[in-house]
Each structure stands twice: as structure tokens, then as C-alpha cells.
Structure 1
Amino acid sequence: MKDLVAIVRNQHLFAPGETVVVAVSGGADSVALLDILTRLEDEGLHLVVAHLNHCLRGAESDADEKFVSDLATRHHLPFLAIRVDVASFAAAEGFSLEDAGRQARYAFFHEVAKRRGATSIAVAHHLDDQAETVLIRLLRGAGGTGLSAMSASGDSLIKRPLLQVSRAELELYLNSRELTWRTDSTNSDTTILRNSIRHELIPTLRKYNPRISERLAATAEILAADEELLEHLTCSAFERLASQDDDAVVFGVAALLREHRGLRLRLYRHGLHELRGDLMRIALTHLEAIDHLASTGRPNASLKLPGSLRVERCYDRLSFTCAAPPTVQRWEQLVPGEGCYRLENGMMLTVGLVQRPDDLATGSRNIVYLSADNTPFPWLVRPFAPGDRFTPLGMKGSQKVKELFINQKLPLHERSRVPLVFSEGEIIWVAGMRVGEKGRVTSATGAVLRVEILEITP
């Protein structure tokens, strides 16, 4: 039997002492994942168990929640759960039950990570899930980006330590450890596409290749490596060919048309992602329509795309914008000293004097320590404005705040939400992102301020 603990450890997905949210449904995969992570003793991980009750199976769903709660208790781990009426959510938003459940789960896991200062979210996707995902995307129509499927270290904190492990190997592990798990009765419902692929299509494909799941997962890994290279080339071309401001991405048509069609389509995807932060409902037909707009002889024409996106050709300029961009509110707020301050963007800023900690790393981007001597009150807090510059901690010379946003891949529509904190006219913190050099705490620093920014919902 494979040493699954060694397989997870050797991927080096987690930093020593890291806080990790573990998504546990109660099924075999997630129970095995939690058990493996608790055995990474050298890493000293701080685990938080999170469970979303989908409210789809009545008493069975409630029993799953109770099972996971008891599991967390046995491991002496914190447990957080939430109940979501996924059926109502799906009906209201026009999603399938599977898509609605996925969106609800990941929104909850990210919220738990934010509250607990976690820097990773561990989910239990394994090799067979990877194979099924490749087939689903192939059937729905996907290019290299989609067929590369899932990665062990994904975007937005997600980690998938079990992608090298099959479902059968996980069950062997659980049996060897005498661990029990819950079985979701809906997993046998073949009217659900993923279940149909698992129970009907893959067994048929095994007649042609008994190791079809391993081969599909290996194909996804090869495509992911290719995708990484192509994305690097796309980013380099985007920097060379595109210009950005607060609410638009602009290409020069003549230079754009000198590039290969495949790169142009990737550039359009990249530009749309920069504007909106995702590519939901953007299909190949939309990218081809943009390319036709760029190459047509008409000097002025436009397209409307899903998600309030608009692409406009005006002579030699191809502009990507939001058709109805949100109104950016300009506000300023004085912070005279310690206390809690409700900001006009709905966030809360808390400031308090503390003893200088031995370790300045807080584990959360929303909490920082600043030198009180070098950052005298009153402070000014306001949103980002074009032209803002600061000196990031550990650097010499100034940098545009806009460049920080671009490097952090912060979508354009989110940038006005980031508060900037000023002392004596100089940025001391781009809240939630980067401390300014002016606020540096050193061994010679006297008074220290602990500063936190919190999202507040109405």
C-alpha cells in the first residue's frame, strides 16, 4: 500500500506552522485527507475543520454534519459549519444543483479562511476526480486551459494534496486505519453528469484501457505544464501590447493583428479577466467575435458580452470596458488615534497600541504591526486614486500603487475598494496588501501599533 502521508508531505504544499482550513464532507476522501494532515507532525499545521450542510437530503445531511463535528472533536480541532438551502439558491440563480453547491462551499471555505487567518484551504479531490473532470470538460467543449483540469496548488488558497491518489487507494488507507466515513446516497444518481461518467462512461473506457483514470490524469498534468508556459507568454505579450486604466483595457489593433490568432484569443481572455476577475459565461464564440471585430474593415463597431462587458473598436483602438461600471465613491476619513473606525466603504479599521511581538508575522494580510514613532497621528484613510505612489516595505524608491494591484492580479473593479492609510502624507499601508517602508517595525522601535482591516456586512 502506498504511503499517503509521504505522498502529501513530499509535495511541500504547506508551510510549517501554517493555518489550513480542511474541507470535510464526511465522505471517504475528505475523512482520509483530514487524517493524513493530522499526521504531518513535523509541519505543525494548525487545522480548522469546515463543513457545509447542503440541506438536500434532510436527516441524512444533518447526520453528515454531526459525523464531521464528532470527527473534529476526536482530533481536538476547531469546527465550523453552515447550513445553506442549495436547492433554493440554485433555483434563484439558475444554476444546477452541482454548480450551486460548489459556489456555496467555496464561498464558505474562503470566509472561514479569512476569519481564521488561514493561508490554505485543503480539499480532497483525488486522481479519479481529476479523470472525471477532464471528461466532463471534454464533453462540454474545452481547450487546453479547461482540459488541464485541477492543479495541486490552485488559485485563491486552494490546495489539492490527493491528486496523485486514487479513490481505491484512499479506501485502502481508511480500512488500514480502521476509519469510518459517510456515503452520500446521491452519488449513485446517474442523472447527475459526474455520477454518470463515474458509473457508466469510465467503466466502459476501462475495457479499452484498464488504467484510463491514470492516463486521463497524466494528460491533464501534461496540459497543465503547457498551459503554464502559454500563460507566461500571454502575460508577456499583454504587458507589451495592452494598456490599462481604472476601467478599461486597450489594445492597438495594428500591433495586435501581427500576432498569431491563438495568442490573440488568449489576450482577449486575459483582458476580460483583468476587467471582471473571472471568465464565467465567456465562450469561444465570444473570443472569435472579438477577433472578427479587430480584423474587420469597419473602423467603429462594438460588442456586448455576458457580465456587462463591452468591446469597442474605434479606429486603431480595441477597448474592453464594463458596460455599466460601478460608480467609484470618493471619500476621506481622519483617524485621530487608537480606536475602531467604520469606513465609508463599509469596512472597519481598528488601531491599538501593543507590546512589540517577537514575531511580526500575523498569518493574515488584514493585520499588520506599524511603528507608532514613525507613523504619527492623525492618519488619513481614503480609496486609491490614479498616480498614488508609495515605498513598499523592504524596498528603496517608490512604486505606483497601480503596479502593486497589477502584480497582485487584483481586478480593476475591486481596486477602489482597497483603503490606503496615510501618515504625514505618506502611505503606510495599502490595506490587506502591503505595508509601506515608513511603518517598518525594527528592534529599536518603541511603541508598536496593531492595525486590522475588517469586512463588515450590512
Structure 2
Amino acid sequence: MAPGERPGQGRDYAWQQWIVRLKDSAEQRLLWHEEDTIVVAVSGGPDSMLLLCALHELIEQREVDGRGRLIVAHVHHGFRSRESDEEALFVEREAQKLGLPFVMTRVDAPGLAEQRGLNPQAAARELRYTFLQDVAQRYDASHIALAHHADDQAETVLMRMLRGTGSTGLAGMAWKREEGGLTYIRPLLHMRKTDILEWCAMRNIPYVTDSSNTKRDYTRNRLRLDILPLLENENPQLVSALCRMADTLRDEADWLEEETHRLFQRHVKTVNNDEGSPFVSHAGSGYLLDRKTFCNTHVALQRRLIKLILNYLTREAEQIDFDVIDTLRNAAAREHPSTWRMDVSRDVAFVREYDRLLWLRQDVSASDDIRCVKSLTIHRTSTSGHLSLPLNNSMLHWMIRAAADRDATSNMRHLIDSSDSSAGPRVRGRAWEAQFDADTLCWPLHVRSRQPGDRMRVQGLNGSKKVQDMFVDAKIGPSLRSFIPIVTDHNGQIVWVPGVRRSDVALVQPSTQYIIHFVLEGGAHAST
């Protein structure tokens, strides 16, 4: 102690210096601004209690008055009933001492783990993050502060290495990440656990001890208690080395992530936004990517693009390992088979359909679903007309003309192009048009979805052919087949499958007097 220095004065100075360094570190990494409201996840352990006290000190010293505050959030996970009750009361009392709002929730992590087939830690994490997001929304907070430290980082990197992961997994936890309009920050990620305990002792910061941290039932605990100490005998600076490696890989991962997002924005569509087809399928339920575009992308971005798509579709994306990602990548890249399907998680399926790659939510991803849609009727008319097809949000136009009227086809085009429709890009090509002898058709006509066993007498082919086989020949993916309209005559005979083939029924002959000309116009293309 220096001459004239009161007991504890040196500790106060050291604490203030540490607070300054913490603030400088946060500013360097742009973790938060003085006016930000921050939800602090506080379990009651030494890590979260030190973080709470440090952030409170910074809030008290802030230069922006009336703005920026802390919200204390605590989760009772339901693992250790009485002990968890005591921890919740402890955190509430400490929040009251600091004059901070306290919010708590009780969740059933063991029940969710059993229901969803998750490990208990994964279930607890999902419930915890959902609660923190709700609290942030309730208090209009922009940031959520987490108390992970350097030892946690080293354990995370080792655990992912043991399970098998790519460079993104080895990058560990980020100092800062954006998700769902919130910023998650980890201000203590550079600190060793021993330093945290020393600061708690020096500042008399109270905390509770989680008895489950000593149980070797969990992988993370075994790494902390057994593996890391053993490895540190070989390299005493192992934790620092692992954290340094994670920081380096994180910087590289951030750049690759930006490239992946750009790739996603340019080439990935929602499944109802496929400009190559007039059919709207599974609206808003998944994502679609051209296979050739995917194959022309560097393999490093292929893996990241798959993971990004899965992140958008399921909360279980973090649990999907490297082997699953590479299985999907290889299935997309190889030439055969041309159609392939795999359940990626409980709620997401991957489907390859020729040159289409789809990631679909399971509740709507049945690969060969038969849709039961009421048939629509077209009565004989002497004028033009159109019919809206809710089956795929497309429009069927027709015009009856005298066979000698050579200008009728251009009139048909003008009629469609000038129609008041929000149908987006027009479908062009002979497959989407058909002409019939209007007098030899068996009226009225009907438009329906396909049915099991459908067959058609194909123009230029002896006998009939299964519609299912026609879809395969035309390389129409299973997820689209139930959205393709089937046009039949009054006897139920299929006369036309738009986009595929027409039948040999009512062919236009030299003797034909009146021709009916059909054009299928593409459905609405929703944007994301």
C-alpha cells in the first residue's frame, strides 16, 4: 500500500482501470452505444454477476442522461427445482439492490428435450433465447448481453472439434452477432475464469454456484474438468491459443458469410418464385436454388449457403452437423440420381428435382402429394374467355376463331397482354399453348388436379401413356406435379396437360371450321 493510501483504495483504482479497459474493448468491437438498452442474461453465477456489475458501473458513468439502461433477465430451467428457486430469488435481490428491472420465467427444459428429442442443454438454450428475445421486445432493448468467457470459448471450440465441424464451428462464439433485429454481445469473451473469480472476490461481488457444473454427465463438464487440464499440461497457454484461433477463423468466416449472403440474395428464391415455371407451389414454405448455379459455386460457399438456408427454415440448424451438410452438397453436385430426397431435421426436408434444389418445411414437403381440388368447368362459347386456376394461381385463356381467320392468334396475344392481371412474367412456348377442333371436342371441358392412374392418348404415339411417366420425361419435379392443371373433356378423357403434352383428341384438320386456342398464363410470383 502506498503512503497515505487508505485500505481498499488500490483495489478501487484497479477496478476502475479494468472498467476503462472493458469500455475500450467494447468500443473497439462496436459492441454497444451509450444510449442502448441492454438485456443482461444473469444466471447468478460469477460470470454473469461480474458482467452485471461491470455494465451497471458503465451505465452509471454514462454521459448520455435519461437513455440507456439495463434489464436483468433470469431463466429457471426446471432442472434443479429447489436450487433453481434459490438462484432466482438471489438474482432478483441483487437486481433490486442495483435498482434494475428484473424479469424471470420458468420453463420446462427437460420436458421440451424429451418431446423434441433434443439434448437437455439444447432445449434449455432454445427456451432461454426465446425468453431473452421476448424481454428485449417488451423493453424495447436493442442488445442482449451474455457472460461467456475465454474458458467457455475454448470448451466450445474443443467440443465442436470432437463432434466434427468446419471452420465456422472452430470460429467458436462471436463477440457480437446480429439476429432477428437484436445484437447479442459477449463483453467478457477475452477473460479467463480465474480472473473472473478474482474480480468477484476483490469487489465482494456475490454469486451462487451451480451444482450441476461438477457433474460429468455432460460433455462440456468433462471437457472442463478433465480434458482441458490434461491438455494444458502440454500447453499452459492452450485456452489463449484456442481463443486466438477462434478469433482468426471468425474474421475469415465473417467475410465468407458476407459472400454467402450476397449469393443467397442473387440466386435463392422462395419456392413460389420460380421464374422457370408458371406454377406456384408451397407458397412461402421453403427455398429454391438452380442446381447449375450451385455447382458453379466454390465448395466453401456451397456448404455455407446450405447452412444459411437451413438457418432461415429451422431453429434446429445449429444441431445439424457437418456430415449432413456435406451429404446435401454431394447429392446436389452429382449427376445421378436426378431426383433425391432427405429429411434434414424434424421439420425440414431437402429435395433435388432435376435442376431444382429445394429446402422445404416438412408440413408441406410431401414429395408426391395428390391435391384434392374441385374441378372447374369450361362451357362451349363463341367468344374469348379466361378462367382463374386457384390450383396454382395461374390463368387459362381461350379464344374460339374460324379456321380461316389468320389474325386471331395475334388477337389472342393482345387480349392476354392487355388484360388486367397481376400475374407477373408471361409464360411463352408451345408447351403452354394448345389448339383443338372446337366442334369435335366433347363439351363441357373440365380443369382439375391430377389423380392416381391418370393416362392420356398422346399425339404422335400409339396407345396411351401414364401422366406420371410424362412428368418424369419432362423432368417436372415431384413437388410441382400436383400443381399442374389437367384438362379433360366431358367424358373424363384427358385432352391436354399444360407444359407437358397434348392428346390426339380433336386435332386440327384441313376440314376444321372452328379452332379453340388455349394459353396458360403464369401464376403470381411472390417476392421475399
TM-score, normalization by structure 2: 0.58
Match of 1:118 in 2: 141
Larger CA deviation: 130-139 vs 3-12: 3-12
Gaps of 5+ in 2: 1-13, 274-283, 366-421, 425-528
Match of 1:432 in 2: none
The one-letter code sitting in structure 1 at the alignment partner of 2:333 is S
Match of 2:196 in 1: 170
Percent sequence identity is 32
Matched, 1:32 2:46: no
Match of 1:132 in 2: 155
Match of 1:291 in 2: 329
The one-letter code sitting in structure 2 at the alignment partner of 1:14 is W
Q: Among 22, 29, 42, which residue is 2:62 paired with?
A: 42
Matched, 1:310 2:368: no
Whole-angstrom distance in 1 between the partners of 2:362 and 2:103: 39
Match of 1:95 in 2: 118
The one-letter code sitting in structure 1 at the alignment partner of 2:163 is R
Q: Deviations over 1:315-343 (max 9, x none)?
A: 433333334349xxxxxxxxxxxxxxxxx
Q: Deviations over 1:172-206 (max 9, x none)?
A: 21122122211111111122211111111111011
Over 3 Å counting, the alpha-carbon distance change for 1:64 and 1:218 in structure 2 is same
Counterparts of 1:125-274 in structure 2, within 5 Å, are: 125-156=148-179, 157-244=183-270, 245=273, 246-274=284-312
Q: Deviations over 1:68-95 (max 9, x none)?
A: 1110111011111122233333333322
Match of 2:23 in 1: 9
The one-letter code sitting in structure 1 at the alignment partner of 2:351 is E
Instruction: Name the SS of the counterpart of 1:117 in structure 2.
Output: coil
**Preserved contact between residue 339 and residue 354 of structure 2 (Cα < 8 Å):** no
Gaps of 5+ in 1: 327-384, 388-458
Whole-angstrom distance in 1 between the partners of 2:75 and 2:313: 31
Over 3 Å counting, the alpha-carbon distance change for 1:219 and 1:296 in structure 2 is closer
**Preserved contact between residue 164 and residue 322 of structure 2 (Cα < 8 Å):** no
**Preserved contact between residue 126 and residue 166 of structure 1 (Cα < 8 Å):** yes
- Give 1:142 shift: 1.0
**Preserved contact between residue 33 and residue 124 of structure 1 (Cα < 8 Å):** yes
- Give 1:66 shift: 1.4
Match of 2:89 in 1: 66
Over 3 Å counting, the alpha-carbon distance change for 1:8 and 1:325 in structure 2 is farther
Instruction: Name the SS of the counterpart of 2:323 in structure 1.
Output: helix
Q: Deviations over 1:352-372 (max 9, x none)?
A: xxxxxxxxxxxxxxxxxxxxx
Match of 1:405 in 2: none
Structure number, greater radius of gyration: 2
The one-letter code sitting in structure 2 at the alignment partner of 1:62 is D
**Preserved contact between residue 300 and residue 312 of structure 1 (Cα < 8 Å):** no
**Preserved contact between residue 165 and residue 321 of structure 2 (Cα < 8 Å):** no
The one-letter code sitting in structure 2 at the alignment partner of 1:171 is L
Match of 1:341 in 2: none
- Give 1:113 shift: 1.1
Whole-angstrom distance in 1 between the partners of 2:315 and 2:222: 32
Instruction: Name the SS of the counterpart of 1:145 in structure 2.
Output: helix
Match of 1:350 in 2: none
Whole-angstrom distance in 2 between the partners of 1:64 and 1:113: 22
- Give 1:43 shift: 5.7
Whole-angstrom distance in 1 between the partners of 2:329 and 2:112: 36
Over 3 Å counting, the alpha-carbon distance change for 1:297 and 1:280 in structure 2 is same
**Preserved contact between residue 15 and residue 43 of structure 1 (Cα < 8 Å):** no
Over 3 Å counting, the alpha-carbon distance change for 1:60 and 1:271 in structure 2 is closer
Q: Show structure 1 runs of 4+ deviating over 6 A.
A: none
**Preserved contact between residue 25 and residue 64 of structure 1 (Cα < 8 Å):** yes
The one-letter code sitting in structure 1 at the alignment partner of 2:252 is D
Counterparts of 1:292-371 in structure 2, within 5 Å, are: 292-298=330-336, 300-305=338-343, 306-325=345-364
Instruction: Name the SS of the counterpart of 1:210 in structure 2.
Output: coil
The one-letter code sitting in structure 1 at the alignment partner of 2:92 is S
- Give 1:258 shift: 2.6
Over 3 Å counting, the alpha-carbon distance change for 1:18 and 1:309 in structure 2 is same
Matched, 1:76 2:99: yes
Whole-angstrom distance in 2 between the partners of 1:103 and 1:322: 19
Q: Deviations over 1:260-305 (max 9, x none)?
A: 3332222222333344466244333333333333333347402132
